[in-house]
């Protein structure tokens, strides 16, 4: 007998048929004698529909407290429906809102952090052998106001419950059956991994392989919660995410592509000290998130600085730089949205030299031009032309994984 936490996303409970599918998965484990806590998101497009209603009232953005009040209704609907379906199938179930499940957060509406969980009510219900269905994504601050954890917050809710209750396993159900070495829709030879480390998962998530929310992986790592990513549509084992993988390590654990990249190039900067500080300080003030930074070697007393941002922040970034003409001398600043970032991730990289050259060889063989390179301990990213991205992923993937 184990304590299992299961999390289902919005698409898994989008309609009555899927709600019953989820209910059956839950009941199967419950009937084996396990204690089951389920975390669900709002149904399908509910959250988007509610956001649209708010936009109608205030197109420039309503207060975050009221947005949280509004959005929390979404999970409230889905937990009630799922509990009804479980009961309809003959098993006892109790739905709990975030605050009823004991989620206490700080007061940062729309991006609240969980401060602590008091799982007493959950435990009481489990002691009565009831299945507990908890609203993900939401909590309560010290003023008794509803808060939300931000998009993807339901993953975090599930991991937080698993951590606070010392659950044996936290299962994240999605529409894929695990974590792959690359996007299986794009790379025919992509392989499902049986196990992956937290660190690798974090790098993959930040590279656009949006299987798991990053905050939830960080929390799982911090509290040692064993995760499993698996399919809500097929009954088969998924991918286990944990501290150390016991199986033989592959050199790399995944290849990811991110098209939502804009490269900002500032050309002809005065090659004087403090230039980079000025630029990135200004961008931080403008709340522009920088990903990769590349600085060319100075030449003729000038240098170039290149960095990447998400495409929706490109315009802001360019404007912020242009506004610095009085304190900064440079020739031009421009944004290029036609690039992609292709990355490989693998804990094995740290101990195996030659990974980078193998990646570059794959790209060279495929006749793909590398525009920029950025590396970290367990990751290598290259910027290439967007139109080459899918070919690049396949070429790199097949070089490392067969």
Pick between residue 131 and residue 252 the one whose CB is nearest to its own copies.
Answer: 131
- Which residue in 221, 122, 111 sits closest to 170, CA to CA? 221
Q: Which of 11, 45, 51, 84 binds its own copies (CB under 8 A)?
A: 84
Closest separation in Å from C-beta 246 to its own copies: 42
126 lies in the site for its own copies, by CB under 8 A: no
Which residue, 5 or 81, is less far from its own copies as judged by CB?
Answer: 81
Q: Collapse the DSSP code of 233 into the 3-class scheme (helix H, G, I; strand E, B; otherwise coil) and give the result.
A: coil
Local structure of 76: helix, strand or coil? helix
The verdict on 292 binding its own copies (CB under 8 A) reads no
54: contact with its own copies by CB under 8 A: yes
Picking from 313, 321, 269, 268, the residue whose alpha carbon sits closest to that of residue 291 is: 313
| Residues near its own copies (CB under 8 A), total | 37
* Least Cβ distance, residue 87 to its own copies (angstroms): 6
Options 62, 267, 294, 324; binder of its own copies; rule CB under 8 A: 62
Q: Are 81 and 19 in contact (CB under 8 A)?
A: yes
**Residue 45 buriedness (CB in 10 A; 0-12 / 13-18 / 19+):** middle
Task: Establish if 383 lies at the interface with its own copies (CB under 8 A).
Answer: no
- CA gap 346, 208 in Å, rounded: 15
Q: Does 390 bind its own copies (CB under 8 A)?
A: no
Q: Which stretch binds its own copies (CB under 8 A): 68-76, 170-178, 184-192, 373-381?
A: 68-76
- Please answer whether residues 330 and 272 qualify as being in contact, where contact means their C-beta atoms are separated by less than 8 angstroms: no
At CA 149, angle to CA 122 and CA 42, rounded to 5?
70
Among 14, 21, 45, 69, binds its own copies (CB under 8 A): 69
* Pair of tokens at residue 99: 């605050």
* Residue 85 in contact with its own copies, rule: CB under 8 A: yes
From the list 1, 56, 246, 353, which residue makes contact with its own copies (rule: CB under 8 A)?
Answer: 56
**Which of 12, 41, 47, 95 lies at the binding interface for its own copies (CB under 8 A)?**
95
CB of 62 to its own copies, least distance (A): 4
Please identify, using beta-carbon distances, which residue of 153 and 254 lies nearer to its own copies. Answer: 153
By CB under 8 A, is residue 16 in contact with its own copies?
Answer: yes
Do the beta carbons of residue 37 and residue 130 sit within 8 Å?
A: no
Among 21, 76, 106, 296, binds its own copies (CB under 8 A): 76
- DSSP-H helix ranges across 135-176: 153-164
Asked whether position 19 contacts its own copies by CB under 8 A, the answer is yes
Beta-bridge partners for 350: none
Q: Which two tokens stand for residue 269?
A: 């900067």
- The Cα 224–Cα 316 span in angstroms is 39
Among 22, 27, 39, 72, binds its own copies (CB under 8 A): 72
Q: Could you say whether residue 50 binds its own copies (CB under 8 A)?
A: yes
Q: Which is nearer to its own copies, 95 or 154 (CB)?
A: 95
Cα separation of 205 and 174, whole Å? 14
Count Cα neighbours of 202 within 13 Å in the Cβ-side half-sphere.
16
How far is the C-alpha of 362 from the C-alpha of 390, rounded, in Å? Answer: 13
Residues that bind its own copies (CB under 8 A): 16, 19-20, 50, 53-54, 56-58, 62-63, 65-67, 69-70, 72-74, 76-77, 79-81, 83-85, 87-88, 94-95, 97, 100, 121, 144-146
């Amino acid at each position: 007998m184990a304590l299992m936490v299961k999390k289902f996303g919005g698409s898994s409970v989008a309609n009555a048929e899927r709600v019953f599918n989820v209910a059956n998965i839950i009941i199967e484990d419950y009937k084996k004698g396990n204690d089951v806590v389920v975390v669900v998101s709002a149904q399908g497009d509910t959250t988007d529909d509610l956001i649209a209603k708010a936009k109608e009232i205030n197109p420039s953005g309503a207060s975050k407290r009221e947005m949280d009040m509004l959005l929390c209704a979404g999970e409230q609907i889905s937990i009630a429906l799922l509990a009804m379906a479980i009961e309809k199938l003959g098993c006892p179930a109790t739905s709990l809102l975030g605050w009823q499940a004991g989620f206490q957060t700080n007061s940062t509406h729309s991006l609240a952090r969980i401060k602590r969980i008091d799982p007493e009510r959950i435990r009481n219900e489990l002691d009565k052998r009831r299945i507990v269905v908890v609203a993900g994504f939401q909590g309560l601050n010290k003023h008794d106001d509803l808060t939300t954890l931000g998009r993807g917050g339901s993953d975090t809710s599930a991991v937080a419950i698993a951590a606070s209750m010392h659950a044996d396993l936290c299962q994240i159900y999605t529409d894929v059956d695990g974590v792959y070495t690359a996007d299986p829709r794009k790379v025919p030879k992509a392989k499902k991994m049986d196990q992956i480390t937290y660190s690798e998962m974090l790098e993959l998530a930040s590279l656009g392989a949006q299987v798991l929310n990053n905050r939830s992986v960080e929390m799982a790592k911090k509290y040692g919660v064993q995760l499993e990513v698996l399919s809500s549509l097929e009954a088969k084992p998924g991918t286990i995410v944990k501290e150390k993988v016991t199986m033989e390590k592959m050199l790399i654990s995944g290849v990811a592509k991110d098209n939502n990249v804009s490269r900002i190039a500032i050309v002809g900067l005065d090659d004087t000290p403090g230039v980079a500080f000025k630029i990135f300080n200004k961008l931080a003030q403008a709340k522009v998130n920088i990903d990769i930074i590349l600085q060319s070697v100075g030449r003729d007393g000038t240098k170039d600085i290149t960095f990447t941002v998400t495409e929706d922040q490109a315009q802001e970034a360019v404007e912020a730089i242009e506004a610095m003409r009085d304190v900064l001398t440079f020739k031009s600043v421009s944004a290029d949205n036609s690039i992609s970032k292709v990355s490989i991730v693998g804990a094995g990289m740290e101990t195996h030299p030659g990974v980078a050259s193998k990646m570059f060889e794959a790209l060279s063989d495929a006749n793909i031009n590398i525009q920029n390179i950025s590396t970290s301990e367990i990751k290598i990213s290259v910027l290439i032309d967007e139109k080459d991205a899918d070919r690049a992923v396949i070429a790199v993937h097949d070089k490392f994984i067969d």
